[in-house]
Chains A and B, each alone.
Chain A
Amino acid sequence: MREIDSNEIRQAVRDLAIAAAHDLEPDILDALLAARDRETGELAGNILELLLTNANIASRDRIPVCQDTGTGILFLELGQEVHIRGDLNEALQEGVRLGYEEGYLRKSVCDPLTRKNTGTNTPAVVHLELVPGDRITIRFLPKGCGSENMSSLVMLPPAAGTEGVVRHVIDRVLAAGSNPCPPMVVGVGLGGSFEKAALLAKKALLRPVGERSEREDVAALEERMLREINGQGQGVHGFGGITTALAVHMEVFPCHIASLPVAINIQCHAHRHKEIVL
């Protein structure tokens, strides 16, 4: 058994929130650089260059990459041999509150009915998973809603098959147009149950940008969907070109014999994510 103090967790979450808003990770920066280098559209190329400049300014001058610093989404892998001293949930929420206050991040969370802003960017959404070991992995994914609003979940009939899944994903992504700030990362959750598919789609976004599925057939579908999406020419911000999406990541999970859940969670090019292992 290993003890971890909840104060350490609170501090870690605060720091993750601030870092995520200002410093893009190498995976997304490399994907944007590669996109700029191969882009054929003139306007699209200029905009990709501007996005890379934006990332530099954000990191250097401590201005958020995007003003939509998002809803806080926390993924925790909690080692079952860890004992936490103090209140874990409180530490997570307090960490988010401190990060958004002290990092000059926008508070974007409100009551769904009254639309009154909670003023703290909490509550954050927490996904907790028990794993073997004596460590805690915390991943912070601030999710802006230009992209989140373009997400969808559908329960297809099994007869729709692979073609049905591919068509649905491509149609939804193209229908999103320039709303989600393309070039985007497309997370697909295939199978499981209603809520599992949605979670898989979001988890797919945690994979390093462009890393293919370990399953060969799934990796082939990811590549095919990416090619078809980019072949439609909407491009960066809908201004044309060959870079509508940077990657398609699909996570799969067995489902009921009567079911074929497909969830799509879209992420913008300001793909902010940070991770720490305690």
Chain B
Amino acid sequence: MPFTKEALASLQAGQLISLSGTLYTGRDQTHRRLCALLDEGKELPVDLAGQLLYYVGPSPARPGRVIGAAGPTTSYRMDSYTPRLLALGLAATMGKGARSAEVRQAMLAHGAVYLAAIGGAGAFLSKCVKKAELVAFDDAGPEALFRFEVEKFPAVVINDLEGRDYYALVAGAKKKGEG
């Protein structure tokens, strides 16, 4: 990461992948503030084009550590903001739980994917974060915007570029089986 078009296109719904590279973090307040900046016609503190935005509010780092627990938060709370960020070229979002129809449509329109990180695995995922740098919104505490360098960070592809949704596929497989 950041993602190339080819890398994005190779991702398949249901695939367990391992992420290495740079990503940005943000959750409720970060999204509210980013969109407020867009409303005011101001520049964002980061260029999101081609990037991965990870929905996380980490726990504080103990002295000498990179970061505290760093698992995903639930993504639907970001749904109302996400299409605007996808329109700026954001290539991928990562959290947990299903996205709204509007977000799925916007992902298709802009060629973006959605990944699920492993919820409740905050300690394990903390070890995958090799560097954490505060970028913006320091006063928002755990909701600040960070740049993370990650290594072998596990995630599952939920929505791929072909419009498949892994959660829906799992639910649909069961229904079909009952047919």
List A residues at the B interface (Cβ < 8 Å).
43, 46-47, 50-51, 53-55, 57-58, 61-69, 104-108, 115, 117, 119, 146, 149, 177-179, 181, 232-235, 237-240, 268-270
Interface stretch, picked from B41-49, B58-66, B80-88, is: B58-66
The answer to whether B121 and A104 touch across the interface, beta carbons within 8 angstroms, is no
Alpha-carbon distance between A156 and B174 when the two chains are bound, in angstroms: 29
Instruction: Collect the chain B residues with CB atoms within 8 Å of residue A240's CB.
Output: 170, 173
Given contacts A233-B174, A237-B116, A239-B166, contact A106 B59 (CB under 8 A): yes
The answer to whether A43 and B14 touch across the interface, beta carbons within 8 angstroms, is yes
The answer to whether A233 and B173 touch across the interface, beta carbons within 8 angstroms, is yes
Closest to B154 in A: A50
Alpha-carbon distance between A43 and B58 when the two chains are bound, in angstroms: 25
Query: In the complex, which of the residues A67, A237, A239 contacts B69, with contact meaning CB atoms closer than 8 Å?
Result: A67
Alpha-carbon distance between A119 and B124 when the two chains are bound, in angstroms: 26
Alpha-carbon distance between A97 and B158 when the two chains are bound, in angstroms: 38
The answer to whether A105 and B59 touch across the interface, beta carbons within 8 angstroms, is yes
Closest to A240 in B: B170
> Which B residues, 96 to 131, have Cβ-Cβ distances below 8 Å to chain A?
96-98, 116, 118-124, 126-127
Given contacts A64-B59, A237-B96, contact A54 B74 (CB under 8 A): no
Instruction: Collect the chain A residues with CB atoms within 8 Å of residue B56's CB.
Output: 67
The answer to whether A54 and B120 touch across the interface, beta carbons within 8 angstroms, is yes
Assess whether B76 is interfacial by the CB under 8 Å rule.
Answer: yes
Alpha-carbon distance between A156 and B29 when the two chains are bound, in angstroms: 36
List B residues at the A interface (Cβ < 8 Å).
14, 16, 28-29, 56-62, 65, 68-71, 73-74, 76, 96-98, 116, 118-124, 126-127, 140-142, 154, 156, 166-167, 170-171, 173-174, 177
Given contacts A65-B123, A66-B71, contact A146 B29 (CB under 8 A): no
Minimum distance in angstroms from B62 CB to a CB of chain A: 5
The answer to whether B119 and A177 touch across the interface, beta carbons within 8 angstroms, is no
Instruction: Collect the chain A residues with CB atoms within 8 Å of residue B173's CB.
Output: 233, 240
The answer to whether A104 and B68 touch across the interface, beta carbons within 8 angstroms, is yes
Alpha-carbon distance between A163 and B11 when the two chains are bound, in angstroms: 43
Other contacts beyond A67-B58, A67-B69, A117-B142: 19, CB < 8 A = A47-B118, A50-B121, A50-B154, A54-B120, A58-B122, A61-B123, A63-B65, A63-B122, A67-B59, A68-B57, A68-B122, A117-B141, A232-B174, A233-B170, A233-B174, A238-B98, A238-B116, A240-B170, A268-B120
Closest to A63 in B: B123
Query: In the complex, which of the residues A50, A178, A232 contacts B96, with contact meaning CB atoms closer than 8 Å?
Result: A178
Closest CB pairs A-B (n = 3): A233-B174, A67-B69, A58-B123
Instruction: Collect the chain A residues with CB atoms within 8 Å of residue B59's CB.
Output: 63-64, 67, 69, 104-106
Instruction: Collect the chain B residues with CB atoms within 8 Å of residue A178's CB.
Output: 96-98, 116, 119, 167
The answer to whether B60 and A104 touch across the interface, beta carbons within 8 angstroms, is yes
Alpha-carbon distance between A107 and B154 when the two chains are bound, in angstroms: 26
The answer to whether A54 and B166 touch across the interface, beta carbons within 8 angstroms, is no
Q: Is the interface of A mostly helix, strand, loop or mixed?
A: loop
Instruction: Collect the chain A residues with CB atoms within 8 Å of residue B71's CB.
Output: 66-68
Alpha-carbon distance between A99 and B126 when the two chains are bound, in angstroms: 21
The answer to whether A146 and B74 touch across the interface, beta carbons within 8 angstroms, is yes
Alpha-carbon distance between A167 and B13 when the two chains are bound, in angstroms: 31
The answer to whether B120 and A63 touch across the interface, beta carbons within 8 angstroms, is no
Closest to B140 in A: A117
The answer to whether A234 and B170 touch across the interface, beta carbons within 8 angstroms, is yes
28 of the cross-chain contacts (CB-CB < 8 Å) are: A50-B118, A50-B121, A53-B124, A54-B122, A57-B123, A57-B126, A58-B69, A63-B59, A63-B65, A63-B68, A63-B123, A66-B122, A68-B71, A104-B61, A104-B68, A105-B60, A107-B141, A108-B57, A146-B96, A146-B97, A146-B119, A178-B96, A178-B119, A232-B171, A234-B171, A238-B167, A239-B166, A268-B119
Alpha-carbon distance between A57 and B174 when the two chains are bound, in angstroms: 34
The answer to whether A149 and B74 touch across the interface, beta carbons within 8 angstroms, is yes
The answer to whether A269 and B58 touch across the interface, beta carbons within 8 angstroms, is no
Query: In the complex, which of the residues B16, B29, B121 contacts A51, with contact meaning CB atoms closer than 8 Å?
Result: B121
Which residue among B119, B122, B156, B177 has the maximum number of chain A CB atoms within 10 Å of its CB?
B119
Instruction: Collect the chain B residues with CB atoms within 8 Å of residue A235's CB.
Output: 170
Closest to A105 in B: B59
